[in-house]
């Protein structure tokens, strides 16, 4: 997938990122010029010249002068630090020409040279900046692998401080894939490392984490991180802008406006001005002040057209078309609203901003659902699933790549250790006499054999663990197509029977179910509340398909906190599906499924699924559904529980009981799941 973004603004973004706050740096620039003029030591002067050239981009001629003078002095004194930055400067020149691939190679050479002198790189050094070049070149996966390799290198050989930039780069890759959980984990790791040597880097990571939490929808945590950053005043515009967004989502429009007004004081760039004008428009739309909202949107649109702005900026997304869509919806001009929403999606696709693409695709799905256009709604729902499938595949590839690189690094380390042992053995051979030499050789051989056996056992155990995890992920992923197939058949039946209203209502519920399944399947565990929400929606859809032939009763014990207790996702649905198809469908009259959730003790959860159907013996005798409906989900879930036990030794189990009366007549079936929590 190619990245298509206007080069002019991408380079301006990079310059802004590297240079920081221009106003705050004016005095620093003057101070550096004075120090350079007074410095007599060549190596110290080189460092000052590089600092000035790398951090101040307002004057390209001055930047060129700084790097050229630094390189000449470094060459004269064979100063490796300065010579490394000569590669960096060549990369900057290539960047100006839009030659991103060649610029990346120059940056890599610079970073390797700095690594050879064990140089600690802060947040504004080449190791951090190269991620932006990868983004400009549209090479997200190459960026991910580069930082993974560098991370293993710094862990092994140091300096350990440089792992912070690697964590930040890896986090950016996961953010690009909308994998917010992984992104936050790596940003926090970066922050902990920066905290020990780079205060600015530490504060920057907190700001980024706050923004990711905001996009993820966790407003409390977003506010916590952004407020702490606001106190440091590293980027007051960005923090006030994001805090305003938080309160806009909370419907506290007065506070949202106050933060946007404060952000306006720091809008020194056209993109910032446009973003803030859209912020104001969003508040006034919520307050139903349509005329004011239109004035702000028109002003922002004028800036966008004049400056030829895109949609993505470090300080936020410029969503003018999306807010025009909201404005035209509010004013009843649906044709114009749809045009702007489609234009917004097109810009998002060109910028390869996956979270925004998902947002606009979902909005188009909802737009057509509300207007009864099931075909168009289904089209955008399919697009949404296609994007999610791609993201899931890329996330899987990322995990595999991480594992492969770790294995490669481990192999290299073993080879180095073996070589070191051989050299030690040779040196001892020349220093120690024959008799003592035999003793040493015997000891070394014994040690190597023991170490080899231990390493083989560890590797075998680790491989089994990785294999079990991979199998668990694969088993969990197998369940989604089964749901989708059944529900799409139902929608098709309603459409064929000309029940368009019912089809539309069913499609809305189906869409919600699919989103819940996608969200839940990305996690190893979810809350009982989330599992029950998905299960209830599934039962509702199945009941509708069969003319409400059955009902479901839920009994949750008071001591079971459904908001905190975690269980594997999609665990109960296959058993409920089996009860419906094999127990209740052949029963005369209505049936009932009862779900009881209790604690066996403080560590085990007892979940019972009881149906009053015809029983297993009668179902097997009739073979009514066995030939057409194969319960793959039941088999898969049993395998998942077996995998849980293999992976974590949890003691999970499934028990099946045939319910009968005193005369031996079937009363139904009871499934009992005992799982740890």
Matching residue, tokens 């802060």 = 122
Task: Say what percent of the chain tops pLDDT 90.
Answer: 29
Residue 463's pLDDT band (boundaries 50, 70, 90)?
Answer: very low
pLDDT of residue 461: 59
Give the pLDDT score at 56.
64
Residue 256: how many CA atoms within 13 Å on its side-chain side? Answer: 21
- Residue at token pair 């600690």: 120
Other residues' Cβ atoms within 10 Å of the Cβ of residue 258 = 15
Mean pLDDT of 181-210: 90
Split at pLDDT 50, 70, 90, the class of 478 is very low
Q: Which residue has the higher pLDDT, 25 or 373?
A: 373
- Average confidence score pLDDT of the chain: 81
Express each pLDDT in 236-283 by its tens digit.
Answer: 888 888 899 899 889 999 999 999 899 888 887 888 889 989 999 999
Predicted pLDDT at 232: 65
State the Cα–Cα distance between residues 666 and 603, nearest whole angstrom.
33
Contact 315, 237 (CB under 8 A): yes
Q: CA of 644: how far to CAs of 76, 396, 409, 465, in Å?
A: 64, 20, 29, 11
Q: How confident is the model at residue 221 (pLDDT cuts 50, 70, 90)?
A: very high
CA 308 → CA 9, 254, 314, 566, distances in Å?
A: 8, 32, 16, 49
pLDDT-derived band at 22 (thresholds 50, 70, 90) equals: very low
Residue 98 has pLDDT above 90, yes or no: no
Determine which of 18-27, 354-363, 478-487, 610-619 has the lowest per-residue pLDDT on average.
Answer: 18-27
DSSP codes, 58-114: S-HHHHHHHHHHHHHHHHHHT-HHHHHHHHHHHHHHHHHTT-HHHHHHHHHHHHHHH
pLDDT reported for residue 26: 45
* pLDDT number for residue 326: 93
Domain ranges of the chain: 1-126, 383-477, 524-676
More confidently predicted of 335 and 501? 335
pLDDT in tens, 346-400: 888 887 677 788 888 999 999 998 888 888 888 888 888 887 777 677 667 666 7
In terms of DSSP H, where are the helices of 311-433? 320-330, 334-351, 354-370, 374-431
pLDDT of 627 higher than 50: no
Q: Report whether the peptide linkage leading into residue 209 is cis, meaning its omega lies within 30 degrees of zero.
A: no
The class (CATH top level) of 524-676 is alpha beta
Beta carbons within 8 Å of 89's beta carbon, 6+ residues apart: 53, 67, 68, 71
User: What per-residue confidence (pLDDT) applies to 394?
Assistant: 67
Least reliable range by pLDDT among 8-22, 54-68, 104-118: 8-22
Q: Measured between alpha carbons, how far is 364 from 370 in angstroms, rounded to an integer?
A: 10
The sheet that has 604-611: what strands, in order across it? 550-556, 591-599, 604-611, 666-676, 653-660
pLDDT digits (tens, 9 = 90+) for 31-76: 888 888 888 999 999 998 888 887 766 678 888 899 999 999 999 9
Beta-bridged to residue 127, according to DSSP, are: none
Is pLDDT above 90 for 140?
no
pLDDT band with cut points at 50, 70 and 90 for residue 495: confident
Regarding predicted confidence, which is higher, 248 or 23?
Answer: 248
Q: What is the pTM of this model?
A: 0.53
pLDDT of residue 19: 41
Task: Give the residues across from 669 on adjacent strands.
Answer: 611, 658
Q: What is the pLDDT, as a whole number, of residue 170? A: 92
The pLDDT confidence band at residue 201, using thresholds 50, 70 and 90, is confident
Better-predicted residue by pLDDT, 479 or 288:
288
Strand 550-556 relative to strand 591-599: parallel, antiparallel, unpaired? parallel
Burial (CB count <10 Å: 0-12, 13-18, 19+), residue 367 = buried
Q: Return contacts of 448-451, CB within 8 angstroms, 24+ apart.
A: 448/421
The region of weakest confidence among 121-125, 335-339, 528-532, 658-662 is 121-125
Per the CB < 8 A criterion, the answer to whether 179 and 396 are in contact is: no
pLDDT at 469: 53
For the segment 109-121, the average pLDDT, to the nearest whole number, is 91
């Amino acid at each position: 997938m190619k990245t298509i973004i206007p080069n002019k603004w991408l380079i301006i973004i990079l310059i802004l990122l590297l240079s920081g706050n221009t106003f705050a740096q004016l005095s620093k620039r003057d101070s550096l010029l004075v120090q350079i003029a007074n410095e007599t030591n060549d190596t110290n002067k080189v460092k000052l010249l590089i600092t000035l050239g790398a951090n101040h981009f307002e004057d390209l001629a001055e930047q060129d002068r700084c790097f050229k003078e630094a390189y000449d002095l470094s060459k004269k004194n064979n100063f490796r630090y300065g010579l490394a930055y000569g590669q960096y400067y060549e990369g900057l020149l290539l960047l100006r020409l839009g030659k991103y691939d060649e610029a990346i190679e120059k940056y890599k050479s610079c970073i390797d040279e700095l690594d050879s002198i064990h140089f600690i790189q802060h947040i504004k050094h080449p190791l951090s900046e190269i991620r932006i070049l990868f983004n400009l070149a549209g090479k997200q996966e190459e960026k991910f692998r580069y930082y993974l390799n560098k991370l293993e290198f710094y862990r092994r050989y140091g300096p350990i401080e440089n792992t912070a930039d690697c964590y930040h780069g890896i986090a950016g890759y996961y953010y690009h894939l909308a994998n917010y959980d992984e992104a936050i984990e790596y940003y926090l790791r970066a922050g902990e490392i920066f905290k020990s040597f780079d205060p600015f880097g530490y504060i920057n990571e907190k700001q980024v984490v706050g923004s990711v939490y905001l996009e993820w929808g966790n407003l409390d945590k977003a506010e916590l991180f952004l407020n702490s950053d606001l106190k440091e005043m590293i980027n007051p515009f960005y923090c006030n802008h994001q805090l305003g967004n938080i309160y806009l989502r909370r419907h506290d429009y007065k506070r949202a406006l106050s933060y946007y007004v404060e952000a306006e004081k720091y809008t020194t760039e056209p993109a910032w001005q446009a973003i803030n004008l859209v912020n104001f428009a969003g508040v006034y739309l919520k307050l139903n002040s349509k005329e004011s909202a239109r004035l702000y949107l028109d002003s922002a649109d004028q800036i966008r057209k004049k400056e030829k702005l895109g949609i993505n900026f470090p300080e936020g997304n410029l969503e003018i078309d999306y807010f025009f869509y909201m404005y035209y919806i509010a004013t009843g001009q649906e044709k114009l609203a749809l045009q702007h929403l489609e234009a917004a999606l097109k810009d998002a696709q060109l910028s390869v901003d996956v979270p925004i693409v998902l947002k606009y695709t979902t909005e188009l799905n909802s737009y057509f659902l509300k207007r009864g256009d099931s075909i168009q709604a289904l089209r955008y729902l399919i697009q949404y699933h296609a994007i999610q499938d791609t993201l899931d595949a890329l996330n899987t590839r990322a995990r595999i790549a991480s594992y492969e690189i770790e294995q490669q690094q481990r192999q290299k380390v073993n080879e180095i250790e073996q070589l070191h042992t051989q050299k030690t053995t040779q040196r001892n051979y020349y220093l120690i006499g024959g008799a003592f030499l035999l003793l040493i050789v015997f000891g070394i051989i014994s040690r190597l054999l023991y170490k080899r056996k231990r390493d083989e056992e560890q590797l075998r155990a680790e491989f089994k663990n990785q294999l079990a995890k991979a199998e668990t992920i694969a088993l969990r992923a197998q369940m989604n197509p089964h749901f989708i197939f059944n529900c799409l058949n139902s929608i098709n039946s309603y459409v064929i029977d000309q029940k368009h209203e019912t089809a539309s209502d069913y499609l809305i519920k189906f869409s919600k179910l699919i989103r819940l399944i996608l969200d839940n399947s990305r996690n190893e565990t979810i809350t009982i509340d989330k599992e029950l929400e998905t299960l209830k929606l599934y039962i509702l859809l199945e009941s509708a398909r069969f003319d409400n032939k059955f009902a479901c009763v839920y009994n949750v014990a008071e001591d079971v906190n459904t908001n905190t207790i975690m269980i594997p996702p999609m665990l109960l649905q296959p058993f409920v599906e089996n009860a419906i198809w094999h127990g209740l469908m052949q029963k005369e009259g209505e049936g009932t499924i009862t779900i009881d959730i209790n604690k066996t003790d403080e560590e085990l959860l007892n979940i019972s699924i009881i149906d009053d159907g015809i029983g297993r013996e009668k179902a097997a005798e009739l073979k009514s559904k066995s030939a057409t409906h194969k319960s793959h989900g039941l088999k898969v879930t049993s395998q998942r529980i077996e995998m849980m036990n293999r992976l974590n030794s949890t003691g999970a189990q499934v028990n099946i009981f045939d319910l009968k009366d005193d005369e031996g007549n079937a009363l139904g079936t009871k499934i009992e799941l005992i799982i740890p929590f």
